[in-house]
Amino acid sequence: MAKAKKRQAMGRGLSALLPTEENLEKGGVAGRVLEVPLNQIETNPFQPRTQFNPETLSELAASIAELGVIQPITVRKLAPNSFQLVSGERRYRASQYLDLETIPAFIRVANDQESLEMALVENIQRDDLDPIEIALSYDRLINEVALTQDEMSKRVGKKRSTVTNYLRLLKLDPIIQSGIRDGFISMGHGRALLALENSKEQLALYKKVVANGMSVRATEQAVKPKATTPANATSDFTAKHIDTLSDFFGASVHTSLDKNGGGKIIIPFGSEKEFNTIRKKLNS
């Protein structure tokens, strides 16, 4: 720890170039990047992120110990010696871990709602969030910042359909949401499970997906309603031969049956050359 503090004192990256608030003349500090004491900064109660990976925090701390804080955090001023984080909590936590005294911070003027919006939007831009964290951030932007889905898609630079797909995940059973957060299933699995409106059915299939390592495609097939065959319908005796016919003709062969057991073999072709190839095989 002492070694880290020594490195920081010798060459503190961005910190070495910045004035502290005490060294500035009286006046506004909004819009400035200052060296702010860590003990004057409180965490953001609006922080949408609840999980911080200890391993990646340790890696960030090692980088800061070597190079200093390259990108300043963002804070808002609450009182003469009191600030609140808007964004950059990982850098803030890593600096605390190193027992640093100050951190470069960009000072913003923001009320509670603006602080919440900035924290949420900044958080959404991260590339290491799980789908449920993103969905919860979108949900808070709609319900607490009062953004419409159109406004939000513009604000975060995402298509509205993308936003809608994330928000739909919040309709899943909480156990399944936890499964997505913990990496047991993907967002694609979750979207497939949404086809089941009954929570018990969702959970039953979720357990099967996890236990058997089912793919997204297999999960999608599992939720499709099974076609029922009428009692008087003729069984499709051609189905087991389709692959053989398709391989022989080099085309995707189809069959259709009527109620009497008769039917047609359909061999599609995309050009005269393909037609002639099929014709030759029929005549061989």
pLDDT in tens, the chain (284 residues): 444 444 443 344 544 444 455 544 444 556 688 899 999 999 877 665 666 778 888 899 999 998 898 889 888 888 888 898 888 888 999 999 999 999 999 888 766 667 667 767 766 766 567 899 888 888 888 887 777 878 878 877 888 888 889 999 999 999 999 999 989 999 999 999 999 988 899 999 999 999 999 999 999 999 987 655 555 555 678 777 877 877 777 777 778 877 777 888 888 876 777 788 788 888 87
> Whose CA is closest to 90, among 124, 131, 54?
54
Catalytic positions: 89
Sketch out the chain's domains with CATH numbers.
Answer: 2-110 (3.90.1530.10), 172-223 (no CATH), 239-283 (no CATH)
Q: What share of the chain is helix, strand, coil (3-state, %, to 5)?
A: 50, 15, 35
Is residue 107 within 8 Å of residue 76, measured between CB atoms?
yes
pTM, rounded to two decimals = 0.50
> Whose CA is closest to 105, among 11, 60, 39, 54?
39
- Burial of 104-115, coded b for 16+ CB within 10 Å and e otherwise, reads bbbbbebeeeeb
pLDDT at residue 215, as a whole number: 93
Count CB-CB contacts under 10 A for residue 76: 22
Say what the alpha-carbon torsion angle 18, 22, 26, 32 is, to the nearest 10 degrees. Answer: 30
pLDDT at residue 46, as a whole number: 64
The C-alpha atoms of residue 172 and residue 192 are separated, in whole angstroms, by 11
